[in-house]
Amino acid sequence: MHSIAVSELTQILRNRLVLVTSFVMPVVVSGFFVYRHDAFATLGSLGYIAGVVVFTVGAFGLYATTVTTLASRRQNLFLKRLRSTTASDTTILAGLLTPATVIALVQVTAILTVLGVVAGQPANVPLLAAAVVATLIMLIGLGLATAGLTNSPEHAQVTTLPVSLGVIAVTSWVGITGTEDFTLLKRLLPGGAATELVVDAWNGGVAVTDSLVLLAPTLGWVVVALVLAARLFAWEPRR
């Protein structure tokens, strides 16, 4: 897995388009929200800004890169060649996705740290960490499922838009309006419960046991995504 991960990291660093669109732009957008945190906090709260950061980096960085990477490696038959080695399917996927996952985790951690310094620390750091990890796992799962519907890296620019824009919309809806109305709907939508968990962890005022329940819908989406990925994912280009 290590050699696959190192090779994939090298490919990411060499591909300026992927580097800018998937890693630089999400940081720039998140940085803008942090810089204007006073203005955006009036719409929701500091927890809302934290949620936007997590899902901006996660959706436009990790999720989009996951889909693009797998579609590209399938198209150039790299996946097929890897599968002819002794490496298991799990090891191959883990190696390919580890660099983007680590980069996204570092980005989220760094940006949220800056937000904590300039605007005030989160009320519950362990709960926030759990929310971030669960969110990133969910987006990786959705990326695997979407990759099954994506024929090429160019096609990924289209297939990733519904989920990317959808989770950002849900994040804003939940972060700004809360979950007093349409509670069940908001929590069941992808990203809804995760956003509420991030908001609770940052703002405080909610019992930890009540907040941990919000992990269930997020992990439920992980299961759904993995089931879809198992059905849809292809290791070789479709003819």
Closest CA to 142 of 60, 76, 201, 72: 60
Q: Does residue 195 lie in a domain region?
A: yes
Residue scoring higher pLDDT (145 or 12): 145
- What is the separation, in whole angstroms, between the first and last Cα of the chain? 29
Closest CA to 12 of 58, 90, 68, 82: 68
The domain of 194 spans 2-232
Q: Does residue 129 lie in a domain region?
A: yes
Q: Tell me how many domains the chain contains.
A: 1
- Distance between CA atoms of 187 and 205, rounded to whole angstroms? 19
- Distance between CA atoms of 138 and 149, rounded to whole angstroms? 17
Question: What per-residue confidence (pLDDT) applies to 126?
Answer: 92
Residues in the chain: 239
Q: Does residue 238 lie in a domain region?
A: no
Closest CA to 214 of 58, 31, 47: 47
What is the amino acid identity at position 65? Answer: T
Tokens describing residue 34: 């942090």
Q: Does residue 237 lie in a domain region?
A: no
Q: Does residue 96 lie in a domain region?
A: yes
pTM: 0.91
Count CB neighbours of 153 within 10 A: 20
Q: What is the 3-state secondary structure (H, E, C) of 33-80?
A: HHHCHHHHHCCCCHHHHHHHHHHHHHHHHHHHHHHHHHHHHHHCCHHH
- Convert the pLDDT of each residue in 156-205 to its tens digit: 889 999 999 999 999 999 999 988 889 999 999 999 999 999 999 999 87
Q: Does residue 198 lie in a domain region?
A: yes
The whole-chain average pLDDT of the chain stands at 88
Q: Does residue 30 lie in a domain region?
A: yes
Tokens describing residue 24: 């630089």
- pLDDT confidence tier of residue 41, bands split at 50, 70 and 90: confident
- Convert the pLDDT of each residue in 76-99 to its tens digit: 888 888 888 888 888 999 999 999
Q: Does residue 239 lie in a domain region?
A: no
Chain CA centroid to CA 214, Å? 17
Count CB neighbours of 227 within 10 A: 12
